[in-house]
Amino acid sequence: MTQGGNDTQTDPPRIAVDEGRVVLSGDLLIDGVAALSCDVDTAQGVDIKQVGRMDTAGAWFVLDLAGRIGGQGGTVPITGASDVQQLLLDTVSANMPGGDVPQAKRQSIADVIEGVGQSVHGSWRLVIEVTGFLGQVMAALATLVIHPRRLRLTSLVHHMQEVGLKAVPIVTLMAFLIGVVLAFQGSVQLRQFGAEVFVVDLIAIAVLRELGILLTAIIIAGRSGSAFTAAIGSMKMREEVDAMRTLGLDPVQILVVPRVLALIITLPILGLIADVSGLVGGAMMSWIELGVSPSVFQSRLVANINLWQFSVGIIKAPFFALIIGVIGCYEGLKVGGNAESLGRLTSTSVVVSIFLVIVADAMFSIFFALVGV
């Protein structure tokens, strides 16, 4: 009776260092392993031959101890385990974070080529889908020309206020600072040659042809394009878009067209505001840094900059607006039923819009150079 009672008693776990090995003894159970501690800096292995019973917590303690002793070099040997104990150690090791994780498979040349092919195929499918969506938008816009009463005027005015009027402060400040920077940097270089007056030409051409409308489009892509994706994506998550289709309403006509039209109308106006603000900033810095008075700045601007310099920038605006609006709404309609897809596609909308705007600007620059404008 006494022997049976002794069989069920727990033998407290003990830890010691003997001849460079950490020796564990007793029962390694969840109730006792937390209190074990020992200086194991000089140890070279773990011996559990004297361990009696061991549960999952005890096995984890042994494996963690071996890992701490091994440091960056991996785990040290664990000796003295019975078959049952070794099986438990292997099971716990396989389920520990980073335990027995197979090494990453080395990619062969064929794998790399396959990955490139899949990326190209995915990009091509995206181009086809966006082109098809652009066709739907253009068809909806053509329908408005035939049936003007289908235009949702209230929605159009609302979006013009959101993407146009409310964007005026940030566009104005951005363009003003760009003009200041151009004048300051240009003056540093032109002063070396005594050609300070040519800073007027530098500012006018850079702002009117390129930077004014390009940076405005980038700001609108980050501000309004992402807002389009988030708004339409939220409606998609709440199944409002599906409800529209069930009622026989066209989401492109109701959700996309007013937003795209609002951008097409307001972006040239914002571009004009950016041009004026950029010239004002450049004129102010030229006066401060170079002593070019506003009257001299104005006279040189009128004498050397023709209308085409301004028109080249404004001509780009509707195309940039179409890119931003179509991409923003397209990504919004792709949103699934979770918030993760909404955030991911909102970021994608901004990145793709800015990329395509820059590509379009480069193509316009090449075209105008070829025709001599």
CB 94 within 8 A of CB 88: no
pLDDT tens digits in sequence order for the chain, 373 residues long = 333 344 457 778 888 877 778 888 888 888 877 777 776 666 777 888 888 888 888 888 888 888 777 665 556 788 888 888 888 888 888 877 655 444 445 567 887 888 888 888 888 888 898 899 999 999 988 988 888 888 888 999 999 999 999 999 999 999 999 999 988 888 878 777 777 778 888 888 888 888 899 999 999 999 999 999 999 999 988 888 889 888 888 888 899 999 999 999 999 999 999 999 999 999 898 888 778 788 888 888 888 888 888 888 899 999 999 999 999 999 998 888 788 888 889 999 999 999 999 999 999 999 988 887 7
**Residue-range domains of the chain with CATH:** 12-95 (3.30.750.24), 149-370 (no CATH)
Residue with tokens 């520990």: 96
Task: Look up residue 3 and give its amino acid.
Answer: Q
- Crossing angle, helix 226-237 and helix 339-370, to 10 degrees? 150
CB 238 within 8 A of CB 299: no
CA distance 70 to 74: 5
Cα dihedral sign for 63, 64, 67, 68?
negative
CA distances 61 to 42, 77, 93, Å, are 18, 14, 11
Give the residue among 16, 92, 18 at the shortest CA–CA distance from 54: 92
* pTM reported for the whole predicted model: 0.68
pLDDT tens-place string over residues 70-105: 665 556 788 888 888 888 888 888 877 655 444 445
CA distance 164 to 175: 15
**Which tokens sit at 21?**
């090995």
